[in-house]
């Protein structure tokens, strides 16, 4: 069994509010995510869960962060997320009502955010000079 790393490079757009946004697929649906290095979790907007066929169990904890203290989080299972040509298996996500961040996505809105655990898990490098996100995906040959 050989382990190898595959680098994936994804270009991001800068929204009118200055947020970095990438497109990704979950369950074959194209979604938009804010790159949020300060977030303690990756989040899917509760509003898109049924369209994605993802079930939610409400968590007893509330989210902590700017504008989220009154929002209940949900536990969800995301089997994989596709960024660029790469499939990243078993990423950790929670669900949350993201109405308060929709302005960051402009007219297209956002479906979620990628938080610091995702960046750590995939050894991310965010290159602001080139507007790109680099991720390492460890695979078994």
Residue 4 dihedral angles phi and psi, to the nearest 5°: -135, 160
- Give yes or no for a contact between 24 and 85, defined as CB atoms under 8 angstroms apart: no
Domain ranges, ordered by start, for the chain: 3-140
| CA angle at 76 for the pair 72 and 79, rounded to the nearest 5° | 155
Residue 105: per-residue pLDDT: 86
Domain 3-140 is classified in which CATH homologous superfamily? Acid Proteases (2.40.70.10)
Q: Is 54 helix (H, G, I), strand (E, B) or coil?
A: coil
Residues of the chain with pLDDT under 70: 1-4, 60-71, 139-141
Residue 137: per-residue pLDDT: 80
Residue 60: per-residue pLDDT: 64
Look up the pTM and report it. 0.87
Quick: pLDDT tens for 29-65. 999 999 999 999 999 999 999 999 999 998 766 555 5
């Amino acid at each position: 069994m050989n382990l190898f790393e595959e680098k994936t490079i994804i270009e991001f757009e800068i929204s009118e509010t200055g947020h970095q946004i990438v497109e990704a697929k979950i369950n074959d649906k194209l979604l938009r995510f804010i790159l949020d290095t300060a977030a303690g979790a990756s989040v899917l907007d509760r509003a898109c869960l049924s369209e994605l066929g993802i079930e939610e169990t409400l968590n007893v904890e509330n989210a902590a962060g700017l504008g989220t203290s009154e929002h209940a989080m949900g536990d969800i299972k995301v089997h994989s997320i596709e960024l660029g040509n790469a499939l990243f298996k078993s990423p950790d996500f929670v669900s949350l009502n993201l109405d308060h961040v929709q302005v960051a996505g402009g007219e297209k809105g956002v479906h979620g955010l990628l938080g610091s655990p995702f960046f750590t898990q995939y050894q991310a490098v965010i290159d602001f000079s080139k507007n790109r996100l680099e991720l390492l995906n460890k695979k078994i040959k």
